[in-house]
Structure 1
Amino acid sequence: MAAKKEISATQVHSMDVDNLSLGTSMQQITVRMMRMWEARNFKKKGELMSLDLLLLDSKGTFIQASIHHRRVPSFRNFLQEGKVYSIANYEVIPAYDRYKVTNNNNTIRFTDSTEITEDEKEDCSISYESFRVLQYSEYLALANTNLQLPDVVGQLLSVQGANLQDTTSTQKIVMLLMLKEKAFTLEGHDEVVVVCTCINPKLFAGTLYLNSTGATKFFFDKGLQIIKDFSKRVGKNKINQRPSVQNEEMTQKTFEKSTLTSLLEYARSSAKQEKEVICRATIASINTRNGWNYVACGRCSKKLVRGLSSFTCTTCNDTNAMGVLKFRVYLTVVDAGEETNFVFFNRDTRKLTNTTAEDINEARAGDNGSNRNNIPLCITDLVGKTMDFQLKITNFNFKSSFQSFTVSKVLREINRSPTEEVITEETLNPNLSDLTYNINDIEKESIPVGETLVSDEVLSECTHAQ
């Protein structure tokens, strides 16, 4: 491996990134390494796939480079963000047409023969700063395409999430950003403007979301020109508010604790009073009768009615509604000899499986429809797990012959032996620190923690990079 081999500028003339040719011929470039991140496969327990680099040349042209995980140890310690390098003897290949972090049609792939040398002269003709910030309409056009991962800049107005003081926590957070000067009139001090890179625009329930990716990084340096320009554009009288911190641990709500036996007895009784309870139970099986997903309205999240050539939303009175695939999973749960059905919807199923219904459907696209109705493995893996569930007992439970309870929130997973079936008021003591989710209508979900809400005036949430 020739990671540190000196390359003479007289031997090989550096060329512009735009002039690179496909193949492995000797082509040298001099570039600044703007950002570096690990590409991991989270479906395989975070397995490292490659080390990816974002490179910038003197003409302001970006190109992405990738180092296969087998070669990463030979280069990682030699690379540093912000440094200028001369790189030669690599392979130029067509860029993948999805999840692009540049507009370049090509990408660089390091080989065993790749030579890279730090430019000690620090070529000042290459900018220290460059971002791909778009207009709102452009984010909207990219929504749900997975084509481009642009950057965004905005004023940080608030931070929301649980365990904000725990640096080891992997729970996602929500950051509310102001994008336009007409969004708010602010007063105060200690403003914070942030640049978030490589975000993935998504359209959900008629609203634009900007999700973080594995390549997302956050920049708060007031010396960055893009932050100076944003502050100047918005105006000093509107960019001087200290961001608020909303720690969900501070918002607590207490619900009645219930065993599965008492839950069923109440539903069979003549009380007929709706209430919310917390119940511990073990998932015994997945009910396959109703499948594992449904097509929801992209505006209101209610189930769509399928027609011959389109979907209809009776709630929005839209005969050509945009459909979004979402989770709906029926589970058979047991405890102390009792058995009933719980229904998981999108938010908690996503949290428990670390994936989305759309991603699963997309992964199965090449199966010719042979297994699209089969229950995904990530869902069947829930069988045998004991959890504390927050449930809402509704009028439906007092009238329906088929007994099922909608799960408003999964509070926590319990590690206990299979023989431990009986729970009591003393043993049931769940952590209620994050009960901030709106459970009035489970299918009309609030924004999941970890996603980004954007309106015409406000961008909400660039999540903690995974």
Structure 2
Amino acid sequence: MAASPTSLTEKPLSRKTFDDLEGVFSEEEVLFRLIHFWEARNHTRGNSLIGLELLFIDEKSTTIQAFIPANRISRYEKSLKPNSVYKMKKFIISPCKKLFKVSAHKYGICFTNKTDLDEVTKGEHKIASQKFRIRSFNDFAAIVDRNGDLFDVIGQIRLITGDNLSAATSNAEEPKAANGKSKDKVFMHLLMKDGETVRIYLWDNIAAKFRTRWNASETKPTILLLTTVNAKFLGGMHTPYQTLSEQDPTFGSSSSAITKIETLTLNELHEFIKNKTPQEISFQCVATIVNVLGEYHWNYVSCTYCNTMLEKLDTTMTCTTCKKPNKVGVLRYRFEISVSDENNGLATFVIFDREGIHFAGRRAPEVFASEYPEGDDPDECELISKKTPQCILDIVGRTCKFQVKLTPYNFRATRQTFTVSRIIEDNIDIHYKSNQKEMATEEPEHATHIASGKAKNKVDDLDLEEHTKNKTYKRLRHNY
């Protein structure tokens, strides 16, 4: 039956928590709070309605994702109220979703024609009203373009722009679209706790709700929490979209989770390693690239599910992190550069895939394919894959503002290298910068949009043909 208010004065039935669920159908009752719900639509088939997705949380603060098929929405929709407590029984227990997941639970719940859902209006319930899955930049990078887990993100607003941000939009007004694309959007840069800056896109009703709250705020917030974001890779940057959940973004004026990134010289960076306790922290450094260390090669073959280097077994390649076999790996950048600053400090920086694309202007498979044309002797493949391509050698002499990330490993390593997590500025005039001290410590307002003209244009135009990638990976596997 449809949801109806009920009292707790009735003799309670035996209730289960979400962790107690087992089998394929539950006759027993569960008590939970509805965190929020949203429409699931098929955008490839005329934006047709598939059903309602819901997120529940029980008294043990365990969340589970639920689903109401489109043909049953009318039966329950009017009774669904976020933050309300319900009891429910007679529902299907299904394996968790593989795509667009908002809960880590191994099971999901599906409503049937027999499902009983009743709102509980009396009594005290020690059920949390929310549970966040806040993740770091690296967590988002590992799941980019997979449409799998939809994690939450918190950060400091560094840039914000969008349609009608100076005027409120009624939530009752349906956003207009042209050629299947919404004109209603909000775009921002968000600085995360680990020092990484990501681009955030809000669309349609979510953008309208955000804009209404933003315009209504007398004091504009500086900290933003967004839930269920979908990570994408656009133009050389990881870009979370908030497209599925219609839960309002949470505003805040300050947060201890956001810290200013300090600018150090290379010598100060080495001193920090020597004198401080092991920790995870990011710094910024202005340095000139003086050499590309070709002896450490320029690429590696990574897992298709994460960025870990694959290990070769007898008949396949495997990932030591996610433990999944890989028939074909992904070629990614990994090369080392020697840098120097104006104080004659020296250091070795490690460049990985995202920053490698920034410098080379092309993805690693495309560079490999151009260095090893189809039809050449496969026996030469391994030698060519180790030879540093000219597009990487050409970066010598460029002065950049790097952001480097230190981990506990840096404090115990015998050979000291620093991983570059972001290139803030490229091809800058180091002498001009040194004459303006305030600019040396200024935090970037934009996320790596000052790439060199040629490199940026190439990155924006990245579109590798699938057959080219497959042939390249096949040759790599042959020699891996």
**TM-score normalised according to structure 2 size:** 0.47
Comparing both chains, which one has the higher relative contact order based on Cα–Cα distances under 8 Å and sequence gaps of 6 or more?
Answer: 1
Higher helix share: 2
